[in-house]
Chains A and B, each alone.
Chain A
Amino acid sequence: MKTKTLSKTLVGSVIVGGLLATAVADAFAQAKEQFIGLPSYRVGAYAAGGSGVFGGWIDYMAMINERDGGVGGVKLTWEECETEYNNARGVECYERLKKKGSTGNSVFQPVSTGITYSVLDKVVADKIPMVTIGYGRTDAADGRVFPWVFPMITTYWSQATTMVKYIGSKEGGIDKLKGKKIVYLYHDSAFGKEGLSVLEKQSQKHGFSFVPLPVAHPGNEQQSQWLKIRQEKPDWVILWGWGVMNPTALKAAAKTGYPREKMVGVWWSGAEEDAIPAGDASKGFTAAGFNVAGPNYPVIKAIQDKVYKQNKGNMEDKSRIGSVYYNRGVVHGIITVEAIRTAQGKYGKRPLSGEEMRWGFEHIDIDAKRLKELGAEGFMPNLKITCADHEGSGLVKYQQWDGKQWKIVSDWIEPDREMVRGMIEESAAKYAKEKGITPRDCSKEG
C-alpha cells in the first residue's frame, strides 16, 4: 500500500517536473524561433503540386537551419495544416496558424488563388503579410492599395504578355504577329479568366486575332474545344490549365494533329506532372516558368548535402528533387528567408512579428550578386520589391519538354510593363473605391 502511494507520488512528481522542464525549454526556445505556418495540400486533385511546392519549401528551410543555424541565429519553425485546396479549410488553417509561435504566424502563402481571395480581408485586419508567388490577385501588385499582399516575381498578366512576346520571337519579330490567330484555351475559373482581359488588349495592340475557349472544371473533357480548334486553324494555342486539364489537352492535341511546338502553356501547366502523363504527346510543348527545372544548382546541392544526407528530407520520392514544383517550393523558401533577413537588418536578430515581416517583404532586393551567393543563379529571376510595386521583376523563362525533361529555350523575358502596370493600377483603384481604401502615399514610407 505504502509503496504504491510512494510510487504514485514519484510518478506524479516526475510528470510535473517533466512538464515544467518542457515548459521552460519551450519558453527558452520560443525566444529564438521564427514561426512560419504552412497551409499545405497533399491530398486531392492538386496533391502533385502541393506536395512538391511545400516539400521544396520545407527542405530549403531545413537546410537553412542545418547549415546556418537559422536566420541570424533565429531558428525557423513551421507547422503544416492540410487545406485540401478547399477555400473553407484554407480559412480554418489561416485562423489556426495565426497565433502559433512566439510572434504568431509571420507570413501566409496558400499556393491557391481561391484561398488567397478568401483571406484577402483577413490578413489586413490581422497584420499578417500574404505572399502569393505566381498566382492570386494580380492587381494586388499595386502596393499602395494592397500593403499586405505580395503577388511576387511575376503575375498572370505579366506572364500573358511574355507569352505574346515569346510567340512573337518565334514568328520572327513581334510585328509579324499581325493577322495571326491565337487560341486561348483556359480553365473556366477565376484562375483561367485572369488571362482574358490582358490578352484581348494585347491582340488589339499587336493585331492578332484572339479566340478564347473555356474548358469546364476539372478539364478532362475537351473534345468540343479541340474540334473548334481544328476548325479555327490557329497559328498558336495558349494553354492556361491546371491539374488534369493539361495532359488531357496535350493528348487531345496529338489526336487532333495539332503541333505541340505551337502550344505555349501557363506556368501551372509546365511541370513534370503535366507532361509525363501525356506520354509522347507532350514532346515539343513549351511552358512558362518563373523558376527552372533541374537539380544542377548549388542551392539544390546544398539541400541534398545538408538535409537528405542525414535522412531529414521532406520528399519521399527523391527523384522529384529538382522537378519544377519542387524548385518552385525552394523559390518560396528563398523569398521567405530573404524577407526575414531583410527585416532582421532593421529590427534586429530576433523573432519578428507579421508587421515587421511585411516591412521585410516590401524591401526585398535580390540582385544578381545575391542570387549567386544563394546558389540560385539562373534558377529564379532578380527580384526587387518597392512600396508601390509588389510584383518585382515580372520576368518569365520558357522551357520545352523534350520527352524526358524540361529544357530551357529562352532567356528571362520582360513583360509589357507599361500595359500591365496600367491595368493593375486601374483595377486596384476600382477596388480601392469599392472598399473605401485610401491608397498609401509611397513617398512617405520608410
Chain B
Amino acid sequence: MLYREAGQFKTSYAADQQIFPIRQDRIGILIILAIAFFAVPMLFSEYWLKAILIPFLIFSLAALGLNILTGYAGQLSLGSAAFMAVGAFASYNFMLRVDGMPILLAFIGGGLAAAAVGIAFGLPSLRIKGFYLAVATLAAQFFIVWLLTKVGWFSNYSSSGVITAQDMEILGYRFVTPEAKYLLVLAIVVVLALLAKNMVRSSVGRAWMAVRDMDVAAEVIGIRIMHTKLLAFAVSSFYCGVAGALYAFAYIGTVEPEGFSLDLSFKILFMIIIGGVGSISGAFLGAAFIVLLPIALDVIVQQWLAGVLPPSVSSNLQLIVFGGLIIFFLIVEPHGLARLWQIGKEKLRLWPFPH
C-alpha cells in the first residue's frame, strides 16, 4: 500500500541510477530532512538538542566512517576513537595557531590530519588481514592517545593535558545556542552522509566491496589493492576525524585524550555491528541504539524504580537489559537493524502478498 510502485517507470539511465530509485523513498527522505532541519530545532527542548541529538549525530558520523572501512572495504579497525582524537586535537591546533582560521576549514583540516594518520596506520593492512589487522589498529589507538598525552605541544602545554575548544563562528555568526549548534552538526553530517552514499555507489565503493569479498579476485580484475585499501583508511579516518572535531567543538567543549579511549572505539564498532555492517542507514540506526538506549533505560530506572530497587541494583539492571537487548537483536537479525528495515521494506513493496 505504502510502497505501491505502480506507474513508476524508469525511462533513462539517470532515473535508474539515482540514489533512491523508489519515489516513496525520495519523499520519505525529504520529509525526514525537513523534520530534522525545521521541526526539530523549533519543537525540541534544549536538553534533547544538546544531550541527545547532537551526540547521536556525531556518533552516527563516526560510525559511518568506520562502516566505510569495515563494512564496505572489509578492514577491521579498533582505532576509530584515536582518529576522532586526531581530528579534535588537529582542529583545535589549527584554530589556535592559524590566525583567522575559518571553523569549517579547521574541521576539514582535522579530518585531513586524521586521514593522514589513518593512511600511516593502514599500511599494515597491505600485508595482514582480519584479527591481525585489528591488533595493528589497536596499536594506533594506544599510540595516538599516548602521544597526545605525552607531547605538550598538542594541548598547548596545558598542565592537565586537556584542550578547550574555541568558539565556532562562521561569517560573523557565533554558534552558541543549542539550536545553532545542532543545525551546524546536522548540516555537516547530512553532507558527509550524502557523499558517503554516493561514494559507495560509485567505482570507488565497488572496488572496496570487491576487495572486501575477495582481494585476490579483485586484484585479478585490475583493482589496485594498495590504492583501494589506503583510500578506505583515508576516507574512514577523515569521517572519524570530523566527528572528533565536532565532538570537541559542538558537544563537550573541553576534551582530554583519555576521553577517546578504547572503550569508545569498541562502542563505535558495536554501533555498526548492531546497526548493520556495510550500510549507510545502519550507522545511524546503530548510533541511535548505542547512544540513546542506555539514556532511555537510565531515565526509566531513575524515574520509576529508584525508590523500589536498591541503587546498585538499578544501575546494574540498566547494563543487564542493555546487554540482553544487544544479544536479542543479534539473534533475531545478525545483519543488523538496517537489514531488519530492508526486509520490512521488501515486504511492504510486495504487500498485500508478501512472500
Contact = CB atoms under 8 A, between A and B. Distances in A.
B50 interface: yes
Interface stretch (B8-16, B103-111, B246-254, B276-284): B246-254
A193 B311 contact: no
Interface stretch (B17-25, B195-203, B315-323): B315-323
Contacts of A435: 164
Nearest to B254: A117
Interface in A57-98: 79-82, 86-89, 91-92, 94-96, 98
A99 interface: yes
A79 B159 contact: no
B256 A51 contact: no
A137 interface: yes
B164 A80 contact: no
A56 to B, nearest CB: 12
A435 B167 CA distance: 9
A355 to B, nearest CB: 18
A188 B142 CA distance: 13
Interface stretch (A9-17, A118-126, A281-289): A118-126
Nearest to A137: B160
Contact of B306 (A79, A117, A120, A193): A79
Chain B: interface residue count, which band?
A: 35 or more
B157 to A, nearest CB: 10
B258 A190 contact: yes
A122 B162 contact: no
Contact of A120 (B253, B258, B310): B253
B302 interface: yes
A42 B149 contact: no
B298 A82 contact: yes
B160 A190 contact: yes
B202 to A, nearest CB: 34
Given A92-B52, A137-B160, A189 B256 contact: yes
Interface in A113-153: 113-114, 117-118, 120-122, 137
B306 A80 contact: yes
Contacts of B162: 117, 190
A81 B259 contact: no
A86 B302 CA distance: 18
B38 to A, nearest CB: 23
Contacts of B159: 193-194, 196-197, 427
Contact of B55 (A41, A51, A92, A191): A92
Contacts of B41: none
A118 B315 contact: no
B302 A87 contact: no
A81 B298 contact: yes
B208 to A, nearest CB: 30
Interface class of chain A by DSSP: helix
Contacts of B52: 92
Contacts of B301: 82
A385 to B, nearest CB: 23
Interface in A344-397: none
B328 interface: no
Contacts of A31: none
Interface in A92-114: 92, 94-96, 98-99, 113-114
A316 B312 contact: yes
Nearest to B149: A188
Contacts of A342: none
A47 B312 CA distance: 9
A96 B299 contact: yes
Contacts of B258: 114, 189-190, 217
Contacts of A47: 312
Contact of B256 (A89, A190, A434): A190
The CB with the most chain A CB atoms within 10 A, among B52, B160, B295, B302, is that of B160
A121 B167 CA distance: 11
Contacts of A189: 149, 161, 256, 258
B51 A96 contact: yes
B259 A434 contact: no
A29 interface: no
Nearest to B165: A121
B353 interface: no
Interface in B213-256: 251-256
Interface of B: 46-47, 50-52, 55, 146, 149, 159-162, 164, 251-256, 258-259, 261, 263, 294-295, 298-299, 301-302, 306, 310-312, 315-316, 318-319
Which 10 residue pairs across A and B have the least CB separation, nearest first? A95-B51, A42-B315, A190-B160, A117-B254, A92-B51, A95-B47, A190-B256, A43-B315, A118-B252, A121-B253
28 contacts: A40-B311, A41-B315, A42-B312, A42-B315, A43-B315, A43-B316, A51-B312, A54-B311, A79-B302, A80-B306, A86-B263, A87-B255, A88-B259, A91-B50, A92-B55, A94-B51, A95-B50, A96-B47, A96-B299, A113-B160, A114-B256, A117-B162, A117-B256, A118-B253, A120-B254, A193-B159, A196-B159, A216-B146
